[in-house]
A and B are shown apart, each in its own frame.
Chain A
């Protein structure tokens, strides 16, 4: 035990490098390859304009992932709050100077590289919350006053993202934070209380929603009420999915996507196209591949020997799962259309970078799963 700890304290870079879970990386590469294939097909059988850039971004993101994986988890713990502050600063910056895309101020132009700080913010919030709860015993967590600072820390980015306005990301951020609170050991009844408050607040929130957001919810409730208007996306998506059948129409053969019936097929609706071309079998396989990534994250969390790593791994894994679930449920008409991409498969740089940065941190947790971190109160 002592020997192992000693060794891990002084792990060389090469040792860390080999300690990275390469099967996990291979899993990510498989998903990215699926994305490449679908984007190639979405362009009518051409690497331009999406697939090639997708591959390029993934390569860059992968390097980033490995780089972060080598960073000592204790450094990350120390930097958690400063990074959080940086993220909030970026959100404020976006609110003031952001590029307007699709009617929402979400993007920050960093020298030709568009960044969506709200995506990055979810990881940074997970780090901050994990850092907070890492130091806390269950007794202290039971103290409502102790929960106030993390609640405020959650509320600040959520409100900023809502203001952009980006309801989907705000809700996902909230859920990710909730998951961290949950595994940290916050009492059940407190969640119930918050749930109750949110339910009561829902009508008020609905009133304050933008028209297009309200329309999305109404459309979700009855997509056929206006099949060529706002219901169009969901109906066309369901048609494409349904026409795929068991084995699909074949790669590059999907009619709905290839003929532009399917809107935003390269971003939010890529899973629809995938399901049309590869059928139920293909779509289920991709779904299971994603689930494997999620479960891998949970396994890393379970195997970690310090609370910070456990909480961080949980938050990142939940974040990835939420992307996945919201996107697929959306294209199948189960929840309102929310503009959430399918990570690693959809075209779009910001989400992919965020996910890979998150997985970089996850890998760091994995690599440094046995390091000794002194909890403040035990010191």
Chain B
């Protein structure tokens, strides 16, 4: 029994040791647990959040572009897409083959889809076809049982209810190129579009809005388990333009078929009421990507359909420049309004002869008559007396040859030459003969239709330096510049400006005026004033002159003169100004003035500038655009 007792004693001692060891180890576990769960908890909690939360961007709807009365000219429409989820399909190739029987899938597309299916996790949808028509969508849905793994969803696409008539001024959207990436992470989302031209480009940031984020809980392989939280983005703001959609359509329609541009401004504040360039293009074609053939057709077309000629087309102003020359002379006191200068049909300077458009000459004319009848010899003499630099300075004050504030990308300033410019550009001194040529708006001088409209506006609005603009309100907030008082004076005496207005009135409304045939019809309820211009594309040779000028219609198209007209209405209280350029149209009075007449008639009848536009609400007007003129 003693042995048994010692054995038990040893056992007890050792068991207690063992128990102590177990307690110590358990204690170690407890300490470790404390360290992980309490001391380092924050660090691991952070890691855990990263583990399970994935943040994705949700693009907001792009803001609309509205005309001044709230009519949408760029909006969003649902876009149906077909997507393929590989894990829901037993045989991706078979599904694609079945899809191809409903909507065509090219071999290259099929290769791309299969490549993406292989590359991505099997639950990630892969785009099969974008821009499905409603019929295609429905047919895919109806055949869903034969198309395992295929699903359709709705995105948005841009639509332009105004179509080609607005294409140049409104612009278009396209998938972002490398150059468009401006640090906004939204641009890296699939299916996103950015403004590429026109207002879409100019106000891209405003229209685009700010992407919202959605926090998704994902598991270890990235599959979405549920949505944790959502931070709504800021929807793109609507941009209300100064355009009158009705007038714009009429203008575009009137110049359709020609290679031409026309601009209508509100003379008092520089608002662009209409701006059209012809030929035009379908702005929706860019969203899905333009085919190579289409692109080649556009870029090789001599009529340059993609160019907005109203802001980027450069033309010598011709006789429409004569008012600027006259104002420069009046300011320089090189001629008085009443001084009569004789025109014998030709002005000689050294050995050179400078012809008037009227072969026999006009006789002695004062300034008003010279503008009215567009006498060239009068302006050769006035320009000679005044000098090119003073003419150029006056032209710059009227917005010619200088950058204008127009928001649209691609606007060109044109060119008004000076002595210094000639010396710098050609290394040769200015010749006096060149002054004479520039006195009738020919030579190096280049202007855009928009700048001619601005020139006219500044001339008839009492000499205020209005700048052209197409933005009236952003997100319902009016932008600065819609009131006449917003614009500074040019400092031209009213007496000088009145002579210009009266002379331009005479051009249209007096029998000897060059645009007498294009005076407004009685239903317009007002008169218009204006000035014609005809610019040579090609020098008239001596031989041709001696044979007698052939009629323009008999010349090849490329040789015909450009036809220009600048006009304003009503003459007693000018509001609307208009500039029209018709490439190779023949003559200003024959081709351009009738277009301007129709445009200004339409403007007077619609009277968008004086009609009450919907009051600008301080809040967003994104949904349900205001009904046109509901309070007027």
Q: What residues make up the interface of A, taking CB atoms closer than 8 Å to B?
A: 137-138, 179, 182-185, 236, 238-246, 255-256, 259-261, 275, 279-280, 283-284, 287, 291, 294-295, 298, 301-302, 307, 310-311, 314, 318, 321, 325, 328-329, 332, 334, 375, 378
A316 to B544, CA, bound (A): 123
A260 to B222, CA, bound (A): 11
Q: Across the interface, do B15 and A246 meet the contact criterion of CB distance under 8 Å?
A: no
Q: What residues make up the interface of B, taking CB atoms closer than 8 Å to A?
A: 3-4, 6-8, 10-12, 14-15, 18-19, 22-23, 25-26, 28-30, 32-34, 36-38, 40-41, 43-45, 47-49, 51-52, 217-221, 225
CB neighbours of A246 from chain B (8 A): 37-38, 41
Q: Across the interface, do B22 and A294 meet the contact criterion of CB distance under 8 Å?
A: yes
Interface of B is mostly: helix
CB neighbours of B52 from chain A (8 A): 255-256, 259, 261
CB neighbours of A375 from chain B (8 A): 4
Q: Across the interface, do B18 and A287 meet the contact criterion of CB distance under 8 Å?
A: no
B38 to chain A, nearest CB (A): 5
Q: Across the interface, do A242 and B7 meet the contact criterion of CB distance under 8 Å?
A: no
Q: Across the interface, do A255 and B11 meet the contact criterion of CB distance under 8 Å?
A: no
**A-B contact sample (10 more), CB < 8 A, given A240-B44, A241-B33, A259-B217:** A179-B18, A183-B15, A240-B48, A242-B40, A242-B41, A260-B221, A261-B51, A261-B52, A298-B15, A302-B15
Contact (A255, B48) CB under 8 Å given A182-B18, A183-B11: yes
Q: Across the interface, do B26 and A241 meet the contact criterion of CB distance under 8 Å?
A: no
A301 to B11, CA, bound (A): 9
Residue of B nearest to A240 (CB): B48
Q: Across the interface, do B37 and A255 meet the contact criterion of CB distance under 8 Å?
A: no
Which of the residues B15, B29, B41, B44 comes within 8 Å of A314, measured between beta carbons?
Answer: B15
B11 to chain A, nearest CB (A): 5
Contact (A332, B36) CB under 8 Å given A185-B10, A321-B22: yes
A327 to B3, CA, bound (A): 39
Residue in B7, B49, B52, B217 whose Cβ sees the most chain A Cβ within 10 Å: B7
Contact (A185, B14) CB under 8 Å given A138-B7, A260-B220: yes
CB neighbours of B44 from chain A (8 A): 238-243
CB neighbours of A287 from chain B (8 A): 26, 29-30, 33
A245 to B46, CA, bound (A): 12
Contact (A280, B29) CB under 8 Å given A138-B10, A242-B45, A243-B45: no
Q: List 28 A-B contacts (CB under 8 A).
A: A138-B6, A138-B7, A138-B10, A183-B14, A185-B10, A240-B44, A241-B33, A241-B44, A242-B37, A245-B37, A255-B51, A259-B217, A260-B219, A261-B220, A279-B37, A280-B34, A280-B38, A287-B29, A287-B30, A295-B19, A301-B15, A307-B4, A307-B7, A311-B11, A318-B18, A318-B22, A325-B22, A375-B4
A260 to B218, CA, bound (A): 10
CB neighbours of B33 from chain A (8 A): 241, 275, 280, 283-284, 287, 332
CB neighbours of B28 from chain A (8 A): 329, 334
CB neighbours of B8 from chain A (8 A): 307, 310
A256 to B45, CA, bound (A): 10
A45 to B139, CA, bound (A): 41
A298 to B6, CA, bound (A): 19
